[in-house]
Amino acid sequence: MALDATDLSHLRRCVELAREALDDGDEPFGSVLVDGEGRVLREDRNRTKDGDQTRHPEFELARWAATHTDPADRSGCTVYTSGEHCAMCSAAHAWSVSDASRMPSPPTNSSAGSASGASGRRPSSPCRSSRSLPVCGSTARHPSSRPR
């Protein structure tokens, strides 16, 4: 999908939001939600520094859209973002927001350092560095699974 001048403008805003997040001590991610007519509905930046790791901008926009927009309108929305969605944000958008998500290419290893800013921190990818959660499956049956 080719990006036009409007797409690039929204992506530049995502990068500005990512810079704001980094300047505030968060990881550098920013996102913009645009309706089918090209109007900006909402924008946000990463807000995970205080401990709530679900405060990704893409997730916040999905949550906002699910509450404040009609489902028929959501299907035409586009989410622009400064980096690749993690698994959590991808799922949130698949279930609740848009047909499309546009983002610039993630930085290569050679340029990743420049994206980390003065703090030297690089954005983490929760889906690649998540912690292990023990799962004990099939220990109890749900009432609906009982034979009738």
Q: What is the DSSP letter of 106?
A: P
- Beta strands 78-81 and 40-45: pairing type? unpaired
Choice among 27, 43, 58, 60 that is catalytic: 58
Residues whose CB is less than 8 angstroms from the CB of residue 99 and which lie 6 or more positions away in sequence, other chains included:
75, 76, 77, 78
106-145: burial string, b at 16+ Cβ within 10 Å, e else: eeeeeeeeebeeeeeeebeebeeeeeeeeeeeeeeeeeee
* pLDDT at site 140: 45
Domains of the chain: 1-105 (3.40.140.10)
Determine the 3-state secondary structure of 33 from DSSP. strand
Specify the pTM.
0.69
The reply to whether 58 belongs to the active site is yes
Task: Point out which residues pair with 33 in neighbouring strands.
Answer: 42, 79
* pLDDT tens-digit map of 87-122: 888 888 877 775 555 554 444 433 333 344 444 444
For 6-65, the pLDDT digits (tens) are 988 998 999 999 999 999 999 999 999 999 899 999 999 999 999 999 999 999 999 999
